[in-house]
Structure 1
Amino acid sequence: MAGNAPPRIFSPARRLAARRRMLALQSAPDAPRYLVEDMIEDVLERLAFLRCDPGRALVIGDWTGDLPRSLSARGVDVTEAEPGHGFDEESPYPFGGFDLIVSLGTLDTVNDLPGALIHIRNALAAGGMMIASFMAAGSLPTLRGVMLTADAERPAPRLHPAVDVRAGGQLLQRTLFADPVIDQRPVNVAFRSLERLVSDLRAQGHSNVLADAGPVLGKAAYARAREAFAAAGKDGRTLETFEILTLSGWRR
């Protein structure tokens, strides 16, 4: 029924375009990859701690290929899926029976997050595990403040709403994952300029994909943003924080 449809917060078309732009930008040898690399390291640590030895795994969103290669080296049969290549996380998966499904940096911009988690659960074999990591509430506090300064008395929607630890736990309970674990960790990065931060966001697929993206930032507003960003720093560098939320659970 139309009344049960999830709110349209994000634009699927803009999301796809941003993801494809990211894949193109990642062809550069010096492309920033620190967010997905942090997520991959965390996944491998969790699997080692749990002594999880999956036979079949699905990896969603790892454009580096590092996690699939690492799992394959352990004898895991790995399937890769990429939203930028048309994989739809908000529809039932065309494959299933996985012992492990890992989603990296994509679920924060789906309109139907509970539905996406249900599709993951349905694609797991009995006893299978999900690990999903994505940008969380509290991310980009410096940029949020800078944008408010730039927009002055007319603030516009420029950064995404995001899920926090409490909401993540509720989502796992709602979607019937067993033994849920929810945690959040910061990744702190120093930038020499606002332009570099924006460039890194685009190159890692975290630019604005809101359905209502707000007006373009004018020259005067952008100048205010640059000044505010520099003023928030010290010794020529401004610290920004990326909060990474990780949800994990099992299909029993």
Structure 2
Amino acid sequence: MQDAPLLFDRPALRLRRARAARDPALFIQEAVADEVQEELIEVNRTFTAPAVVTGWPTVWANRLPDATVVADDETLALEVGAHDLVIHHFALHWANDPVGQLVQARRALRPDGLLIATLFGGQTLQELRSALAEAESRIQGGLSPRVAPMGEIRDLGGLLQRAGFAMPVADGGAFNVSYTSALHLMRDLRGMGETNVMTARQRRATRADVLRLAAQIYHDSFADSDGRIPATFEVVTLTGWAPDDSQPKPLRPGSATHRLADVLGTDESKLDPTQD
């Protein structure tokens, strides 16, 4: 049986990142890395064997100088059970097998080790996607794959459970950035290494008239009173723990030793919604 086609062109992604490294625009990656560091402080645990999975090792060079840093390849170069912390930073949304990435991260963790994964969520670039779709539809009469599908926060949280993590949590927030024009936004996307590398993408340059119309639609639909346009970058943070016997476990159904009515100090019949 023939394998399903891969969603992302990983060699193209490596080339886009190499191009971006010459004139980077990593302000979101940097800001989220700062937030991850703050979250680690709140965890109040000393991590002695951290690892970072990322396409942007420079972001972590000064933040976790002793960490093992590996690329977000399909097979992660991490030793099984070698780490008490794995940070998967802004790479999971480009994975052809995101669950496989998380499973590998879990296997690299020691029992009760922590995973923190950051990635772009489903509301990212919603304004640009809308403008490009309308412009292309008007001029070319159809749409081409331009913006990678990004998961919604509920679905992304489910990935942690599928990968076998305990106490999974998915949290989201938005960075709202303003630009002079859509073309300035696109320049930053190149500097982030976040341009289109979908396998099904068009292999020729986008027509100039499509870009001009998209920029005009973007401005007309979203510009503020100063003429600047907003760009939404939704960032999802996933946290989970490698299973360990020391972790709290949910009680089995029927194992309660006290009645709810006794705890609340009320008559049990008043807790029955079928009673008037």
TM range (shorter): 0.7 to 0.9
* Cα shift readout 1:3-31 (whole Å, capped 9, x = no counterpart): 7x5651111121111121122223xxxxx
Aligned counterpart, 1:220: 209
Aligned counterpart, 1:91: 75
Q: Which residue of 228, 231, 242 maps to 1:251?
A: 242
State whether residues 20 and 192 of structure 2, in contact with CA within 8 Å, keep that contact through their aligned partners in structure 1.
yes
* Cα shift readout 1:104-157 (whole Å, capped 9, x = no counterpart): 111101111111111111111122111010111111011011101210231111
CA distance in structure 1 between the partners assigned to 2:167 and 2:208 by the alignment: 51
Q: Is it true that 1:233 corresponds to 2:223 in the alignment? A: yes
Q: Is it true that 1:198 corresponds to 2:169 in the alignment? A: no
CA distance in structure 2 between the partners assigned to 1:58 and 1:205 by the alignment: 22
Deviates more, 1:176-185 or 1:214-223: 214-223
Aligned counterpart, 1:116: 101
State whether residues 7 and 111 of structure 1, in contact with CA within 8 Å, keep that contact through their aligned partners in structure 2.
no
State whether residues 6 and 112 of structure 1, in contact with CA within 8 Å, keep that contact through their aligned partners in structure 2.
no
Residue 64 of structure 2 aligns with an amino acid whose one-letter code is L
Aligned counterpart, 1:173: 161
| 3-state SS of paired residue (2:63) | helix
Q: 1:125 to 1:44 in 2, by over 3 A?
A: same
Residue 112 of structure 1 aligns with an amino acid whose one-letter code is D
Would you say how many aligned residue pairs link Structure 1 and Structure 2? 236
State whether residues 53 and 71 of structure 2, in contact with CA within 8 Å, keep that contact through their aligned partners in structure 1.
yes
Residue 19 of structure 2 aligns with an amino acid whose one-letter code is R
* Cα shift readout 1:8-55 (whole Å, capped 9, x = no counterpart): 1111121111121122223xxxxx222102211221111111113100
Q: Which residue of 63, 66, 90 maps to 1:70?
A: 63
| 3-state SS of paired residue (1:25) | coil
Q: 1:62 to 1:50 in 2, by over 3 A?
A: farther
| 3-state SS of paired residue (1:149) | helix
Aligned counterpart, 2:112: 127
| 3-state SS of paired residue (2:13) | helix
State whether residues 187 and 242 of structure 1, in contact with CA within 8 Å, keep that contact through their aligned partners in structure 2.
yes
State whether residues 114 and 241 of structure 2, in contact with CA within 8 Å, keep that contact through their aligned partners in structure 1.
yes
| 3-state SS of paired residue (2:62) | helix
Aligned counterpart, 1:25: 23
Under a length normalisation based on structure 1, what TM-score does the superposition of the two structures give?
0.87
CA distance in structure 1 between the partners assigned to 2:241 and 2:5 by the alignment: 27
Aligned counterpart, 1:29: none
Structure 1 segments (4+ residues) deviating >4 Å: none
1:37-48 aligned within 5 A: 37-48=30-41
Gaps of at least 5 residues in structure 1 are: 27-31
1:95, CA displacement in angstroms?
2.6
Deviates more, 1:13-22 or 1:236-245: 13-22
* Cα shift readout 1:85-120 (whole Å, capped 9, x = no counterpart): xxx2x2153434111111111110111111111111
Gaps of at least 5 residues in structure 2 are: 244-276
Residue 223 of structure 2 aligns with an amino acid whose one-letter code is G
State whether residues 59 and 81 of structure 1, in contact with CA within 8 Å, keep that contact through their aligned partners in structure 2.
yes
CA distance in structure 2 between the partners assigned to 1:9 and 1:71 by the alignment: 32
| 3-state SS of paired residue (1:203) | helix
